[in-house]
Structure 1
Amino acid sequence: MPISTVAYIEFPGTAAEAMKFYQSVFGGELEVMDYTGLDTSDFPVQPGPDTVAHASLTGGALELRAGDSLSEDPPGASSEVYSMMILTDTQEEARDLIDKFTAAGGSVELPYEPAPWGDTYGQVRDQFGVMWQVDTPGPES
């Protein structure tokens, strides 16, 4: 099997909601597994009944894995040191994606406009705190 890399996000109890949202935006097949029926007796913290053990989104425009944090005081998913980059073929696709994020409670962090390197680029933070960079190669038309 060739090596592949897939992003994984640990959410503070919002993994199921986040992954359903990402599926609505990017399509694909979503599988979500909670801890029901799993032996968690050796875990330092007992997961709640709806805690996501593992979620997988595949087959759409995004491949992503996620789960809920088991720490007693989990950090949020918001960060200034990582982001997800979306490359679109057209500016219409990019604006549509940004609109989907903001309509669901996200915020534009950097307006989508011509960038110094010749692309059209912007940033949006979703309602879960994840930063998405949106880039369309080439000059604005």
Structure 2
Amino acid sequence: MVSETQEAGNAMPPVKNGLLPYLTVDGAVKAAEFYKRAFGAEEAFRVPVDEQGRTMHVHLYVNNSSLMLSDAYPEHGHPLTKPQSFSLQLVVDDIDFWWERAVAAGAEVVMPVELMFWGDRYGQLRDPFGVLWAINSPAKKS
């Protein structure tokens, strides 16, 4: 559905940072290390790993937003399932920098960066933990 604002040709509404992704992955500590290399993540907090090498909580900052990770704990009702039907979107000024760093760290190119019909440059990557990342660089305003 197209809003009246979009029909009138006005700019898209701003993104708000009030929704926090919390991912269950196979190897939260390894994922955190990958996200540091690929997306410049900073680790804010980590619960120590248990005797099985799992952690119930890692808090990262990525691109001025929080991302939280946990290992699967099927014995407590939190099994590992393959990520599906969602992507994490990074909105950045310099898509080439972010893209090249992530690919160099080992992210798989799903959709190369292209100039999209809405005027932004956009592409998709999949990380080694199965998570789909969309990277978007808004069109420069003149």
1:26 aligns with 2:26: no
2:40 touches 2:62 (CA, 8 Å); kept in 1?
no
1:11 is aligned to 25
Confirm or deny that 1:55 pairs with 2:58: yes
Alignment gaps of 5+ in structure 1: 37-47
Task: Kindly report structure 1 stretches of 4+ aligned residues shifted beyond 4 Å.
Answer: none
Q: Which runs of 5+ in 2 are unaligned?
A: 1-16
The structure with higher relative contact order (CA 8 Å, sep 6+) is: 1
**Residues 1-141 of structure 1 mapped to structure 2, 5 A cutoff:** 4-12=18-26, 14-24=27-37, 25-34=39-48, 36=50, 48-58=51-61, 61-71=64-74, 74-76=80-82, 78-79=83-84, 81-89=85-93, 93-138=94-139
Change (3 A) 1:60 1:135: closer
**Given that residues 15 and 66 in structure 1 are in contact (C-alpha distance below 8 angstroms), is that contact kept between their aligned partners in structure 2?**
yes
- TM score, norm. by length of structure 1: 0.73
**1:112 and 1:49, CA in 2 relative to 1: closer, same or farther beyond 3 A?**
same
CA contact (8 A) 1:110 1:124 kept: yes
After superposition, the C-alpha distances for 1:2-48 in whole angstroms (9 at most, x for unaligned) are x9431100012x11011122233224233221354xxxxxxxxxxx4
Per the TM alignment, residue 120 of structure 1 is displaced from its structure 2 partner at its CA by: 0.9
Superposition RMSD in Å = 2.4
Q: Distance in 2 between matches of 1:84 and 1:51?
A: 23
Taking structure 2 as the reference length, what is the TM-score of the superposition?
0.72
Partner of 1:43: none
Question: 1:29·1:60 contact (CA, 8 Å) conserved in 2?
Answer: no
